[in-house]
């Protein structure tokens, strides 16, 4: 069933929640002829969420609320708008939708907030319009939107290859606790990759799955200490080149006893792995006391991917 407007039906809404991510490992090869870098990355979805509320409308529009909402584009460049259009095209739907993005993941922070919006919008539009797309259909559309969008659909822990969009679920036992130092200033992913290329040129090694054997063993064992030692990000040096002040939260986390600390993705968010929920709170307090973050967050992982949490009036 589809709905063509709001005049002749009661207002309905679909609320979808999708997680941000941390890259436990990010290994980057030299840029290819197509402009992309071959990646092997290990994603973990964490309990810092985006919510997308979808309501019937005459056209596809997006609004944003929450922290840093003023930084979110609301035109056709928004990934959630593009997601809605892809669902409409695939399903042959002419309806509009109002997508309200409720921000929880830092904007341009290396935690894939925009990708989480896109994944949530795919699920929300499918549910609102009753298009009945399969999970495979949604993953295909997600891959067309961006490298991190398929993982925001899948959630939990996974190995990403190719541009990061070819996913294999990873076995992870137990729960891991994180503290994040968030900066209001963003870092452009494209700029960080360009800086990486400037640093390495064609000399960057081609990543292999063997590089992350200790990390995968730590996840399988639920061993947070071993995981902390195995955290890795090839883009971290490039992010520090562009934003040298990121060295400060990295040092604060280490001094406060983090099991491991790493720039998340392309930055500038710094992720610190804690021994426990209480230790994550202490790490967040250390970030705040040192004045090295505009905001701090604590979270656990892994968590589920995009899912409907409300469907009705």
CB neighbour burial string for 243-257, b if at least 16 within 10 angstroms, e if fewer = beebebbbebbeebe
3-state class (DSSP) for residue 287 = helix
In this prediction the pTM is 0.91
Output the six-digit token pair for 167.
């996913």
Active site residues: 21, 148
Residue 7 confidence (pLDDT): 47
| pLDDT for the residue numbered 192 | 94
CA distance 10 to 104: 29
Percentage of the chain exceeding pLDDT 70: 96
Q: What's the CATH code, domain 176-301?
A: 3.30.70.890
> Which residues make up each annotated binding site for ATP?
106-116
Q: Provide the 3-class DSSP secondary structure of residue 285.
A: helix
Q: What's residue 3's pLDDT?
A: 34
Q: Where are the domains of the chain?
A: 13-170, 176-301
The total number of residues written for the chain in this structure: 313
127 neighbors 14 (Cβ within 8 angstroms): yes
pLDDT in tens, 179-196: 999 998 888 888 999 999
Which long-range contacts (C-beta less than 8 Å, at least 24 apart) are formed by 290-296?
A: 290/248, 290/249, 290/252, 292/181, 292/245, 292/248, 292/249, 292/252, 293/181, 293/182, 293/183, 293/249, 294/182, 294/183, 294/184, 294/185, 295/67, 295/106, 295/182, 295/184, 296/179, 296/180, 296/181, 296/182
Domain 13-170 has CATH 3.30.365.10: no
Which residues of the chain register pLDDT less than 50?
A: 1-9
Same fold, 13-170 and 176-301: no
How high is the pLDDT of residue 313? 65
């Amino acid at each position: 069933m589809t709905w063509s407007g709001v005049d002749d039906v009661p207002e309905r809404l679909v609320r979808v929640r999708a997680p941000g991510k941390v890259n436990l490992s990010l290994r980057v090869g030299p840029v290819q002829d197509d402009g992309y870098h071959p990646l092997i990355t290990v994603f973990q979805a964490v309990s810092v969420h985006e919510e997308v509320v979808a309501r019937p409308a005459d056209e596809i529009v997006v609004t944003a609320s929450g922290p840093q909402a003023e930084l979110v584009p609301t035109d056709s460049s928004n990934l959630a708008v593009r997601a809605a259009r892809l669902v409409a095209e695939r399903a042959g739907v002419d309806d509009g939708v109002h997508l309200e993005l409720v921000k929880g993941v830092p904007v341009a922070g290396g935690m894939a907030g925009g990708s989480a919006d896109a994944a949530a919008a795919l699920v929300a539009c499918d549910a609102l319009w009753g298009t009945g797309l399969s999970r495979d259909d949604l993953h295909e559309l997600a891959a067309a939107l961006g490298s991190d969008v398929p993982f925001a659909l899948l959630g939990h822990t996974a190995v990403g290859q190719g541009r990061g969009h070819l996913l294999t679920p990873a076995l992870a036992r137990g729960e891991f606790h994180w503290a994040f130092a968030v900066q209001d200033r963003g870092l452009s992913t494209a700029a960080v990759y360009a800086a990486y290329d400037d640093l390495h040129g064609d000399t960057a090694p081609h990543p292999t799955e063997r590089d992350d054997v200790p990390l995968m063993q730590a996840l399988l064992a639920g061993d947070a200490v071993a995981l902390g030692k195995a955290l890795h990000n090839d883009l971290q040096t490039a992010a520090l080149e562009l934003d040298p002040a990121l060295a400060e939260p990295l040092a604060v986390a280490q001094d406060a006893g983090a099991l491991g600390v790493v720039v998340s993705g392309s930055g500038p968010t710094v992720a610190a792995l804690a021994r426990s929920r209480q230790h994550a709170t202490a790490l967040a307090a250390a970030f705040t006391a040192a004045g090295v973050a505009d905001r701090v967050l604590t979270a656990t992982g892994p968590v589920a991917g995009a899912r409907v949490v409300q469907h009705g009036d």
